[in-house]
């Protein structure tokens, strides 16, 4: 079974060299690693072509294109039975890959997702808690879980964004060739929305299939000043004084593929629009969103933004409600206070997160004077070892594995 790993990139060679190193460290011949370069001018081509590994393929779009178009370009060249994608400041945990391959080969899900620790790149002036990984008992050494299509649909339709990690993913997740082929439109286009990774996740949910969630980390979500998702979320932020536009948005506007709703500065509303776009693609799939809950989430986005962007979000909400006949839901959302179920769910999720943090530890990923996604991945392998495989084979209990992980963490400095 061939597995493809795709790393889309643009102008981020300084991060890519370490991200790519995590994939090349995997000991597996049935693997292709594709770097899809969005016409970078920072030496990305020289970096990738200087590496000698028969599994590595370098692609270049030729001209600067949107993120969606770069994804489409890369996925059209992938040949794997399963495809995994992550960003150029992210990484995969090489020593955990054999277990991931085993789970995909034996369980054969249409798509899988897994626990995803975060790593902030220690760049001067960026962030306050960076350079480390938090290990949480609930997110390590868990048994595979089958996420029923009805559960996945409920999570999406009700806008439970704190549960989105359980949804099928192509970005820090794996999707089968069969599912991806079924997701294509009649013209053979796979990604039909501005945010290709989110679209793929939501399209899989509305289509249905067999989905797995693995409570164990197989990759690391890196974030840095260059991260698209982080910069989008910070646009117009009250605390950061962000501007109302980014180059990502400018390029998106030149893409011939359009979502069902216009570009919005609300992450929640953008997610809802992506879900509606995923449901509307030929052949269309039924989708019944709880607009009130989604609008409450968008109003939370609005309160975090400065006046200019907050006004844009408000206008987007009014236009969306008019487009879908959901004015009553928007009015109810505006009048909601602490008793709204969406807000209660959000607060309960935050409380649960604090409880989980109490049974966790955070380690600084520094090794040999370096602190990168590569050293973070190596640290994860040292702490996790191969105990997850022992658990899967019935030779060890998760509680024992957790205690062993704590013991192996002693060689790294703790972060509060």
Among 278, 19, 15, which residue's Cα sits nearest to residue 6?
19
Alpha-carbon torsion (265, 268, 269, 272), positive or negative: positive
116-174 residue pLDDT tens: 999 999 998 887 789 999 999 999 999 999 999 999 999 999 999 999 999 999 999 99
CATH class of 3-115+142-223: alpha beta
Determine the average pLDDT of the residues in 379-402: 97
Look at residue 341 in the predicted model and tell me its pLDDT. 52
Other beta carbons less than 10 A from residue 249's beta carbon: 15
Look at residue 129 in the predicted model and tell me its pLDDT. 87
Look at residue 236 in the predicted model and tell me its pLDDT. 47
Determine the average pLDDT of the residues in 325-338: 88
Instruction: Supply 10's token pair.
Output: 């643009």
Look at residue 164 in the predicted model and tell me its pLDDT. 95
Tokens 């299509």, residue located: 149
Other beta carbons less than 10 A from residue 194's beta carbon: 24
| DSSP H or E stretch at residue 363 | strand 360-364
| pLDDT confidence tier of residue 22, bands split at 50, 70 and 90 | very high
Pairing of strands 118-120, 360-364: unpaired
- The crossing angle, in degrees rounded to 10, of helices 327-334 and 291-303 is 50
Look at residue 238 in the predicted model and tell me its pLDDT. 45
340-369 residue pLDDT tens: 454 555 555 555 555 556 699 999 999 999
Q: What separation in angstroms does the CA of 50 have from each of 7, 127, 245, 286?
A: 17, 32, 36, 48
Higher pLDDT among residues 245 and 384, named by residue: 384
| pLDDT confidence tier of residue 339, bands split at 50, 70 and 90 | very low
201-257 residue pLDDT tens: 999 999 999 999 999 999 999 999 877 655 445 544 544 444 434 566 667 667 888
Contact 166, 394 (CB under 8 A): no
Look at residue 127 in the predicted model and tell me its pLDDT. 79
Distance separating alpha carbons of residues 201 and 161, to the nearest angstrom: 13
Look at residue 336 in the predicted model and tell me its pLDDT. 80
Higher pLDDT among residues 253 and 393, named by residue: 393
Contact 113, 86 (CB under 8 A): no
Look at residue 338 in the predicted model and tell me its pLDDT. 43
Domain ranges of the chain: 3-115+142-223, 228-336
Determine the average pLDDT of the residues in 5-31: 97
């Amino acid at each position: 079974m061939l597995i493809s790993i795709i790393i889309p990139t643009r102008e981020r060679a300084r991060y890519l060299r370490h991200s790519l190193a995590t994939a090349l460290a995997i000991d597996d011949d049935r693997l292709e690693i594709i770097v899809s370069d969005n016409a970078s001018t920072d030496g990305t081509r020289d970096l990738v072509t200087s590496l000698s590994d028969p599994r590595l393929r370098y692609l270049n779009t030729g001209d600067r294109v949107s993120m969606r178009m770069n994804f489409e370009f890369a996925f059209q060249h992938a040949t794997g039975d399963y495809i995994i994608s992550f960003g150029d400041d992210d990484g995969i945990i090489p020593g955990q890959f054999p277990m991931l391959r085993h789970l995909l080969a034996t369980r054969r899900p249409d798509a899988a997702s897994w626990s995803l620790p975060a790593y902030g790149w220690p760049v001067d002036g960026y962030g306050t808690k960076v350079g480390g990984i938090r290990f949480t008992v609930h997110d390590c050494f868990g048994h595979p879980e089958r996420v029923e299509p009805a559960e996945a649909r409920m999570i999406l339709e009700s806008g439970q964004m704190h549960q989105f990690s359980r949804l099928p993913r192509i970005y820090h997740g794996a999707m089968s060739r069969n599912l991806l082929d079924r997701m294509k439109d009649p013209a053979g286009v796979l990604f039909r929305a501005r945010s290709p990774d989110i679209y793929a996740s939501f399209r899989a949910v509305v289509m249905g299939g067999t989905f797995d969630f693995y409570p164990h980390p197989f990759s690391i979500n890196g974030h840095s000043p260059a991260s698209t998702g982080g910069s989008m979320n910070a646009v117009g932020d009250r605390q950061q004084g962000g501007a109302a536009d980014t180059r990502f948005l400018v390029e998106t506007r030149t893409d011939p593929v359009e979502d069902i709703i216009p570009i919005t500065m609300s992450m929640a509303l953008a997610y809802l629009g992506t879900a509606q776009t995923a449901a509307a693609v030929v052949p269309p799939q039924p989708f019944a969103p709880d607009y009130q809950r989604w609008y409450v989430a968008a109003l939370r986005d609005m309160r975090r933004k400065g006046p200019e962007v907050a006004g844009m979000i408000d206008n987007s909400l009014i236009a969306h409600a008019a487009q879908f006949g959901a004015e009553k839901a928007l009015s109810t959302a505006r009048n909601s206070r602490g008793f709204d179920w969406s807000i209660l769910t959000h607060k309960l999720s935050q409380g649960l997160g604090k409880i989980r943090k109490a049974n966790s530890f955070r380690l600084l990923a520094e090794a040999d004077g370096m602190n990168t996604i590569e050293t973070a991945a190596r640290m994860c392998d040292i702490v996790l070892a191969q105990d997850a495989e022992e658990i899967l084979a019935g030779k060890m209990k998760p509680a024992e594995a957790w205690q062993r992980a704590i013991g192996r963490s002693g060689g790294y400095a703790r972060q509060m």
